[in-house]
Amino acid sequence: MTSLLAKLFNYVIFMTGKYNIDESHGIGHSMKVLNYANCIYEEEVKTSPILQDHENIIYISAIVHDMCDKKYMNENEGIRDIESFLDKKIENYEMDAIKKIITTMSYSSVKKNGFPDLGIHNRAYHIVREADLLSAYDFDRCMIYHMKMTNPCIDLAYENALNLFENRVLKHHDHQLFITDYSKREGELLRTNAIDRINSWNRIIKNTRIGNK
């Protein structure tokens, strides 16, 4: 029998094809967010055992969170597709929680509306949200998004990604977007790695023969 995990990733593959979702928000991103969510969960559950009851909600949300992304589709249509796919696979209360998490966890939603009150699922919400934020430190991923969605010129993609990192990603700690200890620690390491990557791209684009021709 095919596991729910396998079905979820097959669903992501199907949806990325249906809505032409590029690799910056495709299956690789879903895998990375799931793994970060797992790391945060395993640390948080030690002091919040109730999270064991929310494991499905956390992991499913981490995998499908971009399958209703407004950048690629109508959000309500994406939510309906997710509901249809998950019908009879999970409990109704789990589906309700997943919908609330994935429609309120984006950076833009948080900056505009603050953190939502999801009651007993607040901790699950923050785990998924922070897992997505940790994956945002991938500078290459940001460049890929701009090359696929805005302009294929790598020089412009670098500048656009640099602007986003300087104004958003590198300020996650300053903006107090992390509440779990794991994310605070990992975020610092990822921030350092991101700065190294930015500097590496700067050298390639501006100081090499291939970047100047």
- pLDDT digits over 93-128, tens only? 999 999 999 999 999 999 999 999 999 999 999 999
Residue 163 confidence (pLDDT) above 80:
yes
What is 37-64 written as a DSSP string? Answer: HHHHHHHHTTT-GGGGGGHHHHHHHHHH
User: With contact defined as beta carbons under 8 Å apart, do 128 and 103 qualify?
Assistant: no
* Section 17-40 average pLDDT: 96
Interval 135-147: pLDDT, tens: 999 999 999 999 9
Task: Spell out the domain ranges in the chain.
Answer: 1-113, 136-213
Kindly report the CATH number that applies to the domain delimited by 1-113. Answer: 1.10.472
pLDDT-derived band at 45, boundaries 50, 70, 90: very high
Return the C-alpha torsion angle 206, 166, 73, 69, nearest 10: 130
CA distance 112 to 26: 25
> Which residue, 163, 159, 168, is CA-closest to 191?
168
Q: What pLDDT is attached to residue 151?
A: 85
Residues in the chain: 213
- 201 touches 154 (CB < 8 A): no
This prediction has a pTM of 0.95
CB 193 within 8 A of CB 187: no
Chain-centre distance of CA 152, in angstroms? 23
